[in-house]
Amino acid sequence: MKQKITIIGLGFVGLSFAAFLGSKNISVIGVDSNKKKIECLREGIPDFYEPKLEYYLKKGIKNIIFTSKIDEIALQTDFIFITVGTPLNKLNEINLEFIKSVISLISKKLKSNKTKPTIIIKSTVVPGTLNFIKKLLEKHKNKEGIDFELLSNPEFLREGSAINDTRNPHVVIVGGNDTKSRKKLVEFYKKIYPKNQDYVKTNATTAEMIKYANNAFLATKITFINSMANICQKIPDTNVDDIAKVMGMDPRISNLFLNAGPGFGGSCFPKDLQALIAYSKNIGYSPKLLETVQNCNNQQ
């Protein structure tokens, strides 16, 4: 029997994932509150450009139902992936309002649900968020292990390469405190990914932190080579590109994200770095290195 998947939030991450799963002949219910977006998607037209996205969307559209409502049908699936945005608030901390809104709707309907879905957070969230979500779900007398399962499954997509990264992830992170639900998600991925795919199974807070650590390190790497470029500009006949090339030949370093130029931007690195800085301060740690990276990038 075909597995059924629900994806809530059809932005950069969610739509790429939905299109890929649909192309793999998996039944998908794609949910987004933007009704105009839903109308376009039903015609196979994404509302943003990403290489190969429209091709995979049209390839898999026969297996995808697009809707603007989280109803009983959307919840009667094997997995519910949450891929809504987590922007920063006025205090430059992570804003969970979109996730809270989605979880609140799900929580009210779970008791009457015929299935026990596994709810999977793909959105980028700070450590401890899954514990917070669990409490929200349990407000309506739902119990983990009986009415739902809960996992963290962060993604590592790059703008301009979202479909390729969805099809061929360098690693799949599955975080949660229940080994059976973690195994269930890994088994699902094994059906759509190559046999040599790498998986890391860990607890929820570690999975949540992995995404931030990953992006913070890449941001630091970009800032480092830009600092080297600034030094080289003060030294006659010094070529930072050659320096970066040789550094990249060192297997301990690699040449990725080692090109001097403008500071890092986009929708992820600045936001995630700031969220990690704010989170670190909230738990009593002053992240001086990360603040320096942020300041250097702002000056670049």
Active site residue: 40, 232, 268, 296, which one? Answer: 268
Annotated active-site residue 296? The verdict is no
pLDDT of residue 45: 95
**Burial (CB count within 10 angstroms: exposed 0-12, middle 13-18, buried 19+), residue 168:** exposed
Mean pLDDT by 10 residues, the chain (300 residues): 89 97 96 96 95 96 95 86 96 95 91 85 97 93 91 94 96 95 96 94 98 97 97 97 97 95 90 97 98 94
Q: In 3-state terms, what secondary structure has residue 208? A: helix
**Burial (CB count within 10 angstroms: exposed 0-12, middle 13-18, buried 19+), residue 196:** exposed
**End-to-end alpha carbon distance in the chain:** 54
Query: What is the widest separation between alpha-carbon atoms in the chain?
Result: 72
As a whole number of angstroms, the distance between CA 300 and CA 288 comes to 18
pLDDT of residue 1: 62
Q: In 3-state terms, what secondary structure has residue 60? A: helix
The dihedral over CA atoms of 121, 127, 130, 134, expressed in degrees to the nearest 10, equals -160
pTM (predicted TM-score): 0.94
As a whole number of angstroms, the distance between CA 41 and CA 61 comes to 9
pLDDT of residue 201: 97
CA atoms within 13 A on the CB side of 72: 4
Q: How many beta carbons lie within 10 A of that of residue 183, not counting itself? A: 12
- Helical ranges in the chain per DSSP H: 12-23, 35-42, 53-60, 72-75, 97-110, 129-138, 162-167, 179-190, 204-232, 240-249, 269-282, 288-299
Beta-strand pair 199-202/172-175: parallel
| Domains of the chain from N-terminus onward | 4-202 (3.40.50.720), 210-299 (1.10.1040.10)
